Structure 1
């Protein structure tokens, strides 16, 4: 068998293998419902990040993922507040943008940082909600309950973030 024949056979085998791996990966992504989980834990920093589809179900999924992560990290005391604020940001991302949403949680010592990234380029502005309005209160709730919060432009859109302190004095830092 010539060198060219061997090279050609190896190339065909590699192409078949790549095709099979690609098909398996795509099938696995479909089974996961487009939720991709990345976990990276370092001794003092814990991080979890998920891509969520642009779906009305994503805020509920974001709440559940937040609660499970905080329980695993022994930060369950922050769960109620973190879930509420993550839900506000994820709901805004799904309602006001068209692309996927990325939720990232990072914990270090007693501090939790939550980020919701979306494809929208407009930074949020506080609204004036009337008593009977169904929306327009999210940033006020965020301001009342988080230690700090903000928004940053990214190449693909923006990231809304907030931090909570688990220092025993409530969720809000002194």
Structure 2
């Protein structure tokens, strides 16, 4: 916490990443470090899983740059992945439907592990796209 920080209980980080599968482990490790530094290590395993799914989708299904966005406010950790595709993500199927599916399990994991998830149109660095996010309570 910085001495002059007017909101010591809220913070936000953004990590801009290239369209490269190696960005997924970089995002996970960065997220773990952020959570450790802010005393939220107890959220790290679930948060890493969620970030991996969101960032993987951003890298696999788009051609442009992407980003990891992590925000903490009012006891809620929000993890988001920005990508250059303005189309909404496919909603997750039911767990039973996904047992033999080749893909599509990622959002089912997000739905199962996060309190809530959603998406919104968003522009970054001159690129149109979307932010797909999910929330974890810190308690």
- Return the TM-score normalized by structure 1: 0.68
**Does the 8 Å contact 2:80/2:131 carry over to 1?**
yes
Q: Does 1:164 pair with 2:136?
A: yes
Q: How many residues get paired? A: 128
**Does the 8 Å contact 2:98/2:105 carry over to 1?**
no
Residue deviations 1:4-52, cap 9 Å, x none? xxxxxxxxxxxxxxxxxxxxxxxxxxxxxxxxxxxx9942212211101
Aligned alpha-carbon RMSD (Å): 1.8
Per the TM alignment, residue 126 of structure 1 is displaced from its structure 2 partner at its CA by 2.8
Q: 1:130 to 1:46 in 2, by over 3 A?
A: closer
**Does the 8 Å contact 1:41/1:47 carry over to 2?**
no
Per the alignment, residue 45 of structure 2 pairs with 80
Q: Does 1:90 pair with 2:55?
A: yes
**Does the 8 Å contact 1:48/1:105 carry over to 2?**
yes
Q: List gaps (5 residues or longer) in structure 1.
A: 1-39, 168-174
Per the alignment, residue 18 of structure 1 pairs with none
- Return the TM-score normalized by structure 2: 0.84
Q: 1:103 aligns with which of 68, 72, 76?
A: 68
Per the alignment, residue 151 of structure 1 pairs with 119
Q: 1:130 to 1:144 in 2, by over 3 A?
A: closer
Higher relative contact order (CA 8 A, sep 6+): 2
Aligned counterparts of 2:103 and 2:34: Cα–Cα separation in 1: 28
Normalized per residue, the structure richer in strand is 2
Structure number, greater radius of gyration: 1
Residue deviations 1:48-97, cap 9 Å, x none? 11101110101111100111100000001110011001000100010100
